[in-house]
Amino acid sequence: MPYAACLEWQRDLARAKIAGGLPEDIVLLLEHEPVLTLGRGARESNVVASREILEVAGVQTVEVERGGDVTYHGPGQLVGYPILDLNRWKRDLHWYLRQLEQTLIDALRGLGLQGFRFPDYTGVWVGDESDRSATGRAAGRVRKIASIGVHVSRWVTWHGFALNVTNEPLLNFGLIVPCGIDEVRMTTLETEGVSHGWEAVRSAVGFGLGSAFECSVHVAPSVRVGEHPILDAATALVG
């Protein structure tokens, strides 16, 4: 799905949630066409490719309201956008970020891979958990498999997380300093020797959401907000 269209979709859903028009919380699960997104804390120097290279690669650049630095989205990556009312859960942004991390850690465990947190960096990592250091990062002993960046308004969330599934995104991560983290090594399920179809990965993320947020999760029925239909790409959370 083109990023600009999805960003408009998220914002419409968030406005509807703030206005009380969406009774359940929703998580959109999808893939994007190639795009770089620059969060509020992004530094231009972390986009290492020139405009000409980005144009040749067919990669757009979009500035967004989420926290964090620059990241890449594209085919081979499962992106999740929770539209949640934290008034129903916990009005604590740090708690919310940790729950998203736990969602992905639980999802990875269900797929046969051990994920963990890295001190001072939001997201999920794999590799040698005993070496969660800058040295381990630089040597590739710890590798980042999922990124997280969110925005909250009136305690309603949008933006979210990206899980690298196939090796397809890896080349374009070379266009940037991913998440502004020096010497970070990005990885994917495929690189780590974990092979599952998309349905299995989506199901694992759904399980992770249910586990981390202690809720039931189901595919939403077809509903419409403005011009945007919510179809099978959406997962609804019920607290």
* φ, ψ at 123 (rounded to 5°): 135, -175
Contact 24, 237 (CB under 8 A): yes
Q: How big is the chain, counted in residues? A: 239
Nearest 5°: phi and psi at 228?
-110, 115
Strand 234-238's sheet: what is its strand order?
A: 116-118, 121-127, 142-153, 156-164, 77-83, 25-30, 234-238, 216-219
Q: What is the pLDDT of residue 229?
A: 56
For the question of residue 215 being annotated catalytic, the response is no
pTM score, whole prediction: 0.91
Whether the Cβ atoms of residue 5 and residue 219 lie closer than 8 Å to each other: no
What's the helix, strand, coil split of the chain in %, to 5? Answer: 30, 30, 35
Strands lying side by side in the sheet with 70-73: 60-63, 35-38, 70-73
Q: How many domains does the chain have?
A: 1
Predicted local distance difference test score (pLDDT) of residue 152: 97
Q: Is residue 9 within 8 Å of residue 228, measured between CB atoms? A: yes
Strands 121-127 and 25-30, by their bridges, are unpaired
Per-residue pLDDT of the chain (239 residues; tens, 9 = 90+): 899 999 999 999 999 999 998 888 999 999 999 999 999 888 989 999 999 999 999 999 999 999 889 999 999 999 999 999 999 999 999 999 999 999 999 999 999 999 999 988 999 999 998 888 888 888 889 999 999 999 999 999 999 999 999 999 999 999 998 888 888 899 999 999 998 999 999 999 999 999 999 999 988 765 555 565 554 445 556 55
Q: Give pLDDT, residue 76.
A: 96
- Phi, psi dihedrals of residue 220, rounded to the nearest 5°: -70, 145
Tokens of 22: 């969406």
Q: Domain of 49: which CATH number?
A: 3.30.930.10
Catalytic residue among 148, 179, 184, 233: 179
pLDDT of residue 179: 86
Where in the sequence is the domain holding 23, given as residue range(s)? 3-238
Cα gap 2→131, rounded to integer Å: 38
